[in-house]
Amino acid sequence: MERAQKYLNYFLSHRKVTNELIKKIDENNYDYKPTETSMAAGKLVTHMLTSFYMFAKTVKEGSTAVFGEKFDEIAPDLSEAAESYTEKTIEIISSLTNDELERTIDMTRIFGMELTGSQLLQLAMDHEIHHKGNLFVYVREMGHTELPMFVSR
């Protein structure tokens, strides 16, 4: 479980900041887009929260079945959704075994290749960090100037 704890600590060092940013988004800004081709803020947050959850669940189960579930509905309260998905993701990451992290998962339908559980979790982290950067821009353009550091310590 030591590896799982390291992944959990790394996940939380970024997710705590993501959740702080989400708390700054008022419901009247859920449809905000910095450009015409950007995702709306509510959709971006939903995408971030559900994607990491799906990646973690895939690592745990060794199956991509979760990608067939629908997760695109925008929650009425993004902060509550963030807390809920964060808790569910913490539970999954905390329970990962070394065998699950080393297991190869067929991700060819989604990513065109097979990945180990560890590689998929790293991809999930990279995805979270990428979109967290987007979220910083959204929140700043909404008028917020008191923003957290990019990582929580």
> Is 130 known to sit in a ligand binding site?
no
DSSP string, 40-72: PHHHHHHHHHHHHHHHHHHHHHTS-GGGGS---
Strand ranges (DSSP E) for the chain?
104-106, 114-116
Q: What is the 8-class DSSP label of residue 74?
A: P
Parallel, antiparallel or unpaired: strands 114-116 and 104-106 = antiparallel
Residue found by looking up tokens 């923003």 in the block = 147
Answer for the pair 121, 101: CB distance below 8 angstroms, yes or no.
yes
> Is 131 known to sit in a ligand binding site?
yes
> Is 47 known to sit in a ligand binding site?
yes
Residue numbering of the annotated binding site for a divalent metal cation: 47, 127, 131
Residues that constitute the known binding site: 47, 127, 131
